[in-house]
Protein backbone atom coordinates (compact mmCIF):
# COMPACT_ATOMS: atom_id res chain seq x y z
CA UNK A 1 0.00 0.00 0.00
CA UNK A 2 1.42 3.37 -1.02
CA UNK A 3 0.07 6.53 0.60
CA UNK A 4 -3.48 7.47 1.50
CA UNK A 5 -5.00 6.54 -1.86
CA UNK A 6 -3.44 3.07 -1.74
CA UNK A 7 -4.36 2.25 1.83
CA UNK A 8 -7.93 3.54 1.59
CA UNK A 9 -8.47 1.51 -1.59
CA UNK A 10 -7.38 -1.62 0.28
CA UNK A 11 -9.53 -0.79 3.30
CA UNK A 12 -12.56 -0.15 1.08
CA UNK A 13 -12.22 -3.22 -1.15
CA UNK A 14 -10.69 -5.90 1.08
CA UNK A 15 -13.78 -6.87 3.12
CA UNK A 16 -15.77 -7.43 -0.08
CA UNK A 17 -12.94 -9.38 -1.69
CA UNK A 18 -12.68 -11.68 1.33
CA UNK A 19 -16.42 -12.33 1.20
CA UNK A 20 -16.92 -12.53 -2.57
CA UNK A 21 -13.81 -14.58 -3.34
CA UNK A 22 -13.80 -16.73 -0.21
CA UNK A 23 -10.31 -15.76 0.87
CA UNK A 24 -8.98 -17.80 3.80
CA UNK A 25 -5.88 -15.73 4.50
CA UNK A 26 -4.66 -12.27 3.44
CA UNK A 27 -1.18 -10.73 3.69
CA UNK A 28 -0.69 -7.02 2.99
CA UNK A 29 2.65 -5.24 2.69
CA UNK A 30 2.29 -1.90 4.48
CA UNK A 31 5.75 -0.36 4.58
CA UNK A 32 4.80 2.59 2.31
CA UNK A 33 1.33 3.20 3.71
CA UNK A 34 2.10 6.42 5.64
CA UNK A 35 2.64 9.02 2.90
CA UNK A 36 4.87 6.56 1.07
CA UNK A 37 7.33 6.22 3.96
CA UNK A 38 6.73 3.64 6.66
CA UNK A 39 3.57 2.80 8.58
CA UNK A 40 1.91 4.08 11.75
CA UNK A 41 0.18 1.99 14.38
CA UNK A 42 -3.22 3.45 13.45
CA UNK A 43 -2.72 2.48 9.80
CA UNK A 44 -1.60 -1.01 10.82
CA UNK A 45 -4.67 -1.49 13.01
CA UNK A 46 -7.02 -0.17 10.31
CA UNK A 47 -5.51 -2.65 7.83
CA UNK A 48 -6.05 -5.52 10.26
CA UNK A 49 -9.61 -4.32 10.90
CA UNK A 50 -10.25 -4.34 7.14
CA UNK A 51 -9.46 -8.07 7.07
CA UNK A 52 -5.70 -8.46 6.65
CA UNK A 53 -4.33 -11.34 8.71
CA UNK A 54 -0.72 -10.14 8.62
CA UNK A 55 1.02 -6.89 7.63
CA UNK A 56 4.58 -7.24 6.31
CA UNK A 57 7.15 -4.52 5.69
CA UNK A 58 10.67 -4.05 4.30
CA UNK A 59 13.44 -1.47 4.20
CA UNK A 60 11.04 1.39 5.09
CA UNK A 61 9.79 -0.33 8.24
CA UNK A 62 11.35 2.23 10.62
CA UNK A 63 10.62 5.40 8.61
CA UNK A 64 7.88 6.29 11.09
CA UNK A 65 9.65 6.40 14.44
CA UNK A 66 6.64 5.03 16.32
CA UNK A 67 7.13 1.70 14.52
CA UNK A 68 10.11 0.97 16.76
CA UNK A 69 7.72 1.15 19.72
CA UNK A 70 4.63 -0.63 18.40
CA UNK A 71 6.48 -3.40 16.45
CA UNK A 72 6.77 -5.48 19.60
CA UNK A 73 3.13 -5.03 20.60
CA UNK A 74 1.50 -6.77 17.64
CA UNK A 75 2.15 -10.34 16.53
CA UNK A 76 0.52 -9.61 13.15
CA UNK A 77 3.10 -6.93 12.34
CA UNK A 78 6.26 -8.31 10.73
CA UNK A 79 9.58 -6.66 9.91
CA UNK A 80 12.29 -8.48 7.91
CA UNK A 81 13.43 -11.56 9.81
CA UNK A 82 17.07 -11.06 8.87
CA UNK A 83 17.53 -7.90 10.90
CA UNK A 84 20.18 -8.48 13.59
CA UNK A 85 19.23 -10.18 16.84
CA UNK A 86 17.73 -7.70 19.28
CA UNK A 87 15.86 -5.66 16.65
CA UNK A 88 12.33 -4.77 17.83
CA UNK A 89 9.45 -6.85 16.57
CA UNK A 90 9.44 -10.21 14.85
CA UNK A 91 10.17 -11.48 11.36
CA UNK A 92 7.85 -14.46 11.21
CA UNK A 93 4.86 -15.96 12.95
CA UNK A 94 2.37 -18.80 12.88
CA UNK A 95 -1.23 -17.72 12.33
CA UNK A 96 -4.61 -19.38 11.79
CA UNK A 97 -6.51 -18.96 8.53
CA UNK A 98 -10.29 -18.61 8.41
CA UNK A 99 -10.53 -22.31 7.46
CA UNK A 100 -8.44 -23.33 10.49
CA UNK A 101 -5.16 -23.95 8.64
CA UNK A 102 -1.89 -23.07 10.35
CA UNK A 103 -0.09 -20.50 8.20
CA UNK A 104 3.54 -19.54 8.75
CA UNK A 105 4.30 -16.08 7.33
CA UNK A 106 7.90 -14.85 7.09
CA UNK A 107 9.17 -11.46 5.94
CA UNK A 108 12.73 -11.60 4.57
CA UNK A 109 14.73 -8.82 2.88
CA UNK A 110 17.23 -9.28 0.06
CA UNK A 111 20.70 -7.73 -0.03
CA UNK A 112 21.40 -6.90 -3.68
CA UNK A 113 21.06 -3.12 -4.22
CA UNK A 114 19.31 -2.87 -0.83
CA UNK A 115 19.99 -0.64 2.16
CA UNK A 116 20.52 -1.44 4.94
CA UNK A 117 22.32 -4.66 4.08
CA UNK A 118 20.91 -7.22 6.48
CA UNK A 119 21.98 -10.72 7.47
CA UNK A 120 22.00 -13.49 4.86
CA UNK A 121 18.36 -13.97 3.74
CA UNK A 122 19.01 -17.56 2.69
CA UNK A 123 20.36 -18.56 6.09
CA UNK A 124 17.49 -16.71 7.75
CA UNK A 125 14.94 -18.59 5.65
CA UNK A 126 16.67 -21.90 6.38
CA UNK A 127 16.39 -21.28 10.12
CA UNK A 128 12.70 -20.38 9.80
CA UNK A 129 11.95 -23.52 7.78
CA UNK A 130 13.93 -25.73 10.16
CA UNK A 131 11.96 -24.40 13.12
CA UNK A 132 8.54 -24.82 11.47
CA UNK A 133 8.57 -27.32 8.58
CA UNK A 134 5.75 -27.52 6.07
CA UNK A 135 3.11 -30.15 6.95
CA UNK A 136 4.61 -30.64 10.38
CA UNK A 137 4.11 -27.42 12.36
CA UNK A 138 2.57 -25.47 9.44
CA UNK A 139 -0.10 -26.30 6.87
CA UNK A 140 1.10 -23.48 4.60
CA UNK A 141 4.21 -21.29 4.48
CA UNK A 142 4.33 -17.84 2.86
CA UNK A 143 7.44 -15.73 2.30
CA UNK A 144 7.30 -12.01 1.50
CA UNK A 145 10.75 -11.59 -0.05
CA UNK A 146 11.41 -7.84 -0.10
CA UNK A 147 14.15 -7.24 -2.65
CA UNK A 148 15.26 -5.17 -5.65
CA UNK A 149 16.96 -7.70 -7.93
CA UNK A 150 14.73 -10.19 -9.70
CA UNK A 151 17.69 -12.60 -9.91
CA UNK A 152 17.92 -12.68 -6.11
CA UNK A 153 14.15 -13.10 -5.83
CA UNK A 154 14.12 -15.98 -8.30
CA UNK A 155 17.03 -17.73 -6.60
CA UNK A 156 15.28 -17.37 -3.27
CA UNK A 157 12.18 -18.97 -4.77
CA UNK A 158 14.23 -21.91 -6.04
CA UNK A 159 16.00 -22.15 -2.67
CA UNK A 160 12.73 -22.80 -0.79
CA UNK A 161 10.95 -24.61 -3.64
CA UNK A 162 9.09 -27.62 -2.28
CA UNK A 163 9.49 -26.39 1.29
CA UNK A 164 7.22 -23.33 1.15
CA UNK A 165 3.76 -22.83 -0.30
CA UNK A 166 4.32 -19.39 -1.79
CA UNK A 167 7.07 -16.81 -2.34
CA UNK A 168 5.93 -13.33 -3.34
CA UNK A 169 8.35 -10.52 -4.09
CA UNK A 170 7.75 -6.95 -2.95
CA UNK A 171 9.68 -3.64 -3.08
CA UNK A 172 9.76 -2.69 -6.76
CA UNK A 173 6.05 -1.67 -6.82
CA UNK A 174 5.51 -2.96 -10.37
CA UNK A 175 3.58 -6.21 -10.94
CA UNK A 176 5.57 -8.79 -12.89
CA UNK A 177 4.25 -11.25 -15.48
CA UNK A 178 5.92 -14.36 -14.07
CA UNK A 179 3.33 -15.83 -11.69
CA UNK A 180 4.08 -19.56 -11.79
CA UNK A 181 4.39 -22.76 -9.81
CA UNK A 182 8.01 -23.87 -9.51
CA UNK A 183 9.12 -27.46 -10.11
CA UNK A 184 8.84 -28.43 -6.45
CA UNK A 185 5.35 -27.01 -6.03
CA UNK A 186 6.03 -23.55 -4.60
CA UNK A 187 3.99 -20.68 -6.07
CA UNK A 188 6.15 -17.73 -7.09
CA UNK A 189 5.83 -14.16 -8.42
CA UNK A 190 8.74 -11.71 -8.57
CA UNK A 191 6.62 -8.72 -7.53
CA UNK A 192 2.93 -8.47 -6.72
CA UNK A 193 2.92 -4.75 -7.51
CA UNK A 194 1.68 -1.89 -5.37
CA UNK A 195 -1.74 -0.74 -4.26
CA UNK A 196 -1.58 2.92 -5.24
CA UNK A 197 -1.78 5.51 -8.00
CA UNK A 198 -0.02 4.21 -11.13
CA UNK A 199 0.08 7.71 -12.68
CA UNK A 200 3.23 8.15 -10.62
CA UNK A 201 6.77 6.97 -10.00
CA UNK A 202 6.36 3.94 -7.74
CA UNK A 203 3.35 5.57 -6.12
CA UNK A 204 5.02 8.92 -5.56
CA UNK A 205 4.02 12.13 -7.36
CA UNK A 206 6.08 11.90 -10.55
CA UNK A 207 7.34 15.51 -10.77
CA UNK A 208 9.99 15.34 -8.04
CA UNK A 209 11.45 11.94 -9.02
CA UNK A 210 11.56 13.10 -12.65
CA UNK A 211 13.32 16.31 -11.62
CA UNK A 212 15.95 14.36 -9.67
CA UNK A 213 16.71 12.10 -12.62
CA UNK A 214 17.14 15.10 -14.91
CA UNK A 215 18.81 17.70 -12.67
CA UNK A 216 20.38 15.46 -10.02
CA UNK A 217 19.19 18.09 -7.50
CA UNK A 218 16.19 17.84 -5.17
CA UNK A 219 13.62 20.61 -5.37
CA UNK A 220 11.44 19.33 -2.54
CA UNK A 221 10.15 16.32 -0.65
CA UNK A 222 8.83 13.19 -2.28
CA UNK A 223 5.04 13.11 -1.89
CA UNK A 224 2.69 10.18 -2.42
CA UNK A 225 0.55 10.49 -5.54
CA UNK A 226 -3.11 11.05 -4.75
CA UNK A 227 -4.95 9.88 -7.86
CA UNK A 228 -7.25 6.84 -8.05
CA UNK A 229 -5.54 3.69 -6.83
CA UNK A 230 -5.21 0.30 -8.46
CA UNK A 231 -5.14 -2.68 -6.12
CA UNK A 232 -2.49 -5.21 -7.12
CA UNK A 233 -1.83 -8.59 -5.59
CA UNK A 234 -1.70 -12.27 -6.33
CA UNK A 235 -3.87 -15.22 -5.35
CA UNK A 236 -2.73 -18.74 -4.59
CA UNK A 237 -4.69 -21.91 -4.00
CA UNK A 238 -2.86 -24.30 -1.69
CA UNK A 239 -3.42 -28.05 -1.32
CA UNK A 240 -4.68 -29.15 2.07
CA UNK A 241 -2.92 -32.46 1.56
CA UNK A 242 0.58 -31.26 0.64
CA UNK A 243 0.75 -27.58 1.64
CA UNK A 244 2.06 -26.83 -1.85
CA UNK A 245 0.50 -24.62 -4.52
CA UNK A 246 -2.08 -25.84 -7.01
CA UNK A 247 -2.92 -22.53 -8.73
CA UNK A 248 -1.56 -18.98 -8.87
CA UNK A 249 -2.75 -15.86 -10.69
CA UNK A 250 -2.38 -12.07 -10.33
CA UNK A 251 -5.12 -9.78 -9.02
CA UNK A 252 -5.49 -6.24 -10.38
CA UNK A 253 -8.48 -3.97 -9.71
CA UNK A 254 -8.67 -0.31 -10.68
CA UNK A 255 -7.68 2.17 -13.39
CA UNK A 256 -4.69 2.16 -15.76
CA UNK A 257 -3.65 -1.50 -15.49
CA UNK A 258 -5.75 -4.20 -17.13
CA UNK A 259 -8.09 -5.63 -14.53
CA UNK A 260 -7.78 -9.30 -13.72
CA UNK A 261 -9.27 -11.55 -11.04
CA UNK A 262 -8.04 -15.16 -10.75
CA UNK A 263 -10.68 -17.39 -12.32
CA UNK A 264 -10.25 -20.00 -9.59
CA UNK A 265 -11.44 -17.40 -7.05
CA UNK A 266 -14.73 -16.68 -8.83
146 in catalytic set: no
CB proximity list for 190: less than 8 A, separation 6 or greater: 150, 153, 154, 169, 176, 178
What does the chain come to in residues?
266
Of 60, 146, 171, 173, which one is the catalytic site residue?
60
**CA-closest candidate to residue 153, choices 201, 203, 192, 184:** 192
Q: Which residues are catalytic?
A: 60
Amino acid sequence: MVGKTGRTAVWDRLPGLISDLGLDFVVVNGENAAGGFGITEDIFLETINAGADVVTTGNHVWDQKEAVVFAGRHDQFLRPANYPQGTPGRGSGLFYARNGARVLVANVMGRVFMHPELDDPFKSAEAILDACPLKEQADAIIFDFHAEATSEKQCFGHFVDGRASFVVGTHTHVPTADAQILNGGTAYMSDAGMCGDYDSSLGMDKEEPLNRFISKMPKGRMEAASGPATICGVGVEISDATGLAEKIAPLRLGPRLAETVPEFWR
